Amino acid sequence: MVTYNTLMDGCVLSDDSAGALAFFNEMRSRGIAPSTVSYMTLMKAFAVSGQPKVAHKVFEEMERDPRVTVDRAAWNMLVEGYCRLGLVETANLAKGITMARKPGEALVLWNEVKERCLEEADEELLGALADMCVRAAFFKKALEIVACMEEKGIAPNKTKYKKMYIEMHSRMFTSMHASQARRDRRRERKRAAEAFKFWLGLPNSYYGREWRIEPLLDGDDQS
């Protein structure tokens, strides 16, 4: 396997994505299971050659392979491939994550966008990520995203988010039976929810001195 990974890496250096794919397929035809490094190297071959959609297909195959783990480095590679060509395709990726109801992946994508290409993030991308965070009750992240939208002059759809919050989360914090750790986590989430309700203009117990979301475009990370 190490030999094939080395050969594939050589293809990356020579911008030969077809060669990397050929070595990857040959490795599997010989009964050698790809490792995380194998998938990552193949993704890199397509990402650096301007083929992010093909890199995305490799990423999806990696997700389906129970023998390997999709980690942050894999996401880095995927987002980098899209960012090389602009964020239109990244917005499509965000919409795909939203449709697949994968909130954890939406959070990873948002963090990668903040680190790599926040200046280029557009309404389509930010809106898709905000929708997913509101649906998943990630209110702190939702506030980060809508703050970014407002800073860019993009008006978030508060009417839509009010409806989503009322329909999906209005009874979220009513249970009294939970461990102390769970109650602590719930208290933290409730504070974020109250801040989000304050932003929406819904009745809330939020006070302005807490949960202030600062601008993100200056490079600050509020995660």
Q: Token pair of 112, please?
A: 């990668």
Residue 163 lies in a domain: no
pTM for the whole structure: 0.54
Question: How many beta carbons lie within 10 A of that of residue 54, not counting itself?
Answer: 18
pLDDT reading at 150 higher than 70: yes
Residue 173 lies in a domain: no
Q: Token pair of 196, please?
A: 């989000």
Instruction: Look at 53-57, 128-132, 153-157, 208-212 and tell me which has the smallest mean pLDDT.
Output: 208-212
63 Cβ contact list (under 8 Å, min separation 6): 70
Residue 178 lies in a domain: no
pLDDT reading at 117 higher than 50: yes
Q: Which residue blocks in 65-179 are alpha helix, DSSP H?
A: 72-84, 88-99, 103-116, 123-135, 139-151, 158-169
Residue 208 lies in a domain: no
Q: What is the CATH number of the domain that holds 85?
A: 1.25.40
In the chain, the percentage of residues whose pLDDT exceeds 70 is: 75
For residue 12, what pLDDT is reported? Answer: 92
Q: Which of 10-19, 60-69, 99-108, 120-129 has the highest mean pLDDT?
A: 10-19
Mean pLDDT of 168-190: 66
Residue 74 lies in a domain: yes
| Helix and strand counts by DSSP (H, E) for the chain | 11, 0
Residue 197 lies in a domain: no
Residue 70 lies in a domain: yes
Q: Tens digit of pLDDT for each residue in 22-49?
A: 999 999 999 999 999 999 999 999 988 8
Would you place residue 220 in the very low, low, confident or very high pLDDT band (cuts 50, 70, 90)? Answer: very low
Count of domains forming the chain: 1
Q: Token pair of 208, please?
A: 């302005």
pLDDT reading at 111 higher than 60: yes
Q: Which carries the bigger pLDDT value, residue 7 or residue 124?
A: 7
pLDDT reading at 199 higher than 80: yes
CA distance readout (Å), 36 to 7, 61, 116, 128, 148: 15, 11, 23, 29, 34
For residue 209, what pLDDT is reported? Answer: 44
Average pLDDT, the chain: 78
Give the chain's radius of gyration (CA, Å). 21
Residue 22 lies in a domain: yes
CA distance readout (Å), 189 to 128, 139, 184, 204: 21, 7, 9, 14
Residue 36's identity, in one-letter code, is: T
In the chain, the percentage of residues whose pLDDT exceeds 90 is: 28
pLDDT reading at 77 higher than 90: no
Q: How far apart are CA 223 and CA 217, in angstroms?
A: 14
pLDDT reading at 166 higher than 60: yes
Instruction: Look at 64-68, 155-159, 205-209 and tell me which has the smallest mean pLDDT.
Output: 205-209
Which range of residues forms the domain containing residue 61?
2-156
pLDDT reading at 194 higher than 70: yes
- Length of the chain as a residue count: 223
Would you place residue 174 in the very low, low, confident or very high pLDDT band (cuts 50, 70, 90)? Answer: low
